[in-house]
Structure 1
Amino acid sequence: MGLLDTLFGKKDTNKEKEEKALPWIPLTSVSQLEEIEEKSKTKTQVIFKHSTSCGISRMVINMFVESYGFTEAQLDLYYLDLHAFREVSNETGYKFQVMHQSPQLLVIKNGVAVAHSSHGAITEINLEDYL
């Protein structure tokens, strides 16, 4: 079977897919929004709003993780679970003047949202433009 395995690309079931770990900062309280606003004056802040019950949101976050290539020194990356922290999600929209959508990515610089997008368009935001 060795030749057939080589020809047809036998998968090695002993190897688990290596997951890419991002430097997520959990966004769990409204008070963190003030910190994000303040920190954005010296370093780009990014908020990923994720719906844990939505298949589209799961697909988009996986695409985002795969394409992410920044260090903690370049920007801060926040993860907001919309269901667990609905009040924080609502306040995020008010504070940064962005209508709620899910999934959604917000880029905060100098205290304001300089870019935001939702669904598949999230991966079209070039974060490098905001460093």
Structure 2
Amino acid sequence: MEWKNITDPEQISGIKTQEGYSLIFKHSTRCSVSMMAKKRFELDWDIIPEGTKLYFLDLISHRAISAQIAETFQVHHESPQILLIKDGDCVLDASHSDISADEVAELINN
């Protein structure tokens, strides 16, 4: 699996209108906690079902897009943070030590 970088605000509109599951990982490149959460998630991401679209946001470089994500999916901004989107709706919002590939896979598989 591979991350698709979010660098353009229009990508958020596209994610909102996609069918199926998309996952957004909001990451602060200046934060060791964020770095560890990302690394831990990536170590387990082979359990994420095929077909799940994985998006990565460097929120230091793209603060406005991070704010747009929070507004679009009606979540509080946090970092690190994952949002699992199903058919345009956020069905999971987790941050810090609550970020879990197991939980993402469980939601998708049920």
Q: TM-score, normalised by structure 2?
A: 0.90
How many residue pairs get matched? 107
* Higher RCO (CA 8 Å, separation ≥ 6 residues): 2
Select which of 71, 90, 110 maps to 2:67.
90
**Per-residue deviation, 1:74:** 2.1
Tell me the C-alpha RMSD between the 2 structures: 1.5
More helix by share: 2
Runs ≥4 in structure 1, deviation > 4 angstroms?
A: none
Please list, as runs of the form range in 1=range in 2, the aligned pairs for 1:35-54 lying within 5 A after superposition.
Answer: 35-39=14-18, 41=19, 43-54=20-31
For the residue of structure 1 that corresponds to 2:42, the secondary structure is helix
Other-structure match for 1:109: 86
Aligned counterparts of 1:123 and 1:84: Cα–Cα separation in 2? 24
Assess, with a 3 A threshold, how the Cα gap between structure 1 residues 74 and 124 changes in structure 2: closer, same or farther. Answer: closer
Aligned counterparts of 1:79 and 1:27: Cα–Cα separation in 2? 6
Assess, with a 3 A threshold, how the Cα gap between structure 1 residues 94 and 53 changes in structure 2: closer, same or farther. Answer: same
Q: TM-score, normalised by structure 1?
A: 0.76
Aligned counterparts of 2:108 and 2:36: Cα–Cα separation in 1? 24
What CA deviation, in whole Å up to 9, does each residue of 1:7-58 have, x standing for no partner? xxxxxxxxxxxxxxx410001111101110111x2x2000000000000000
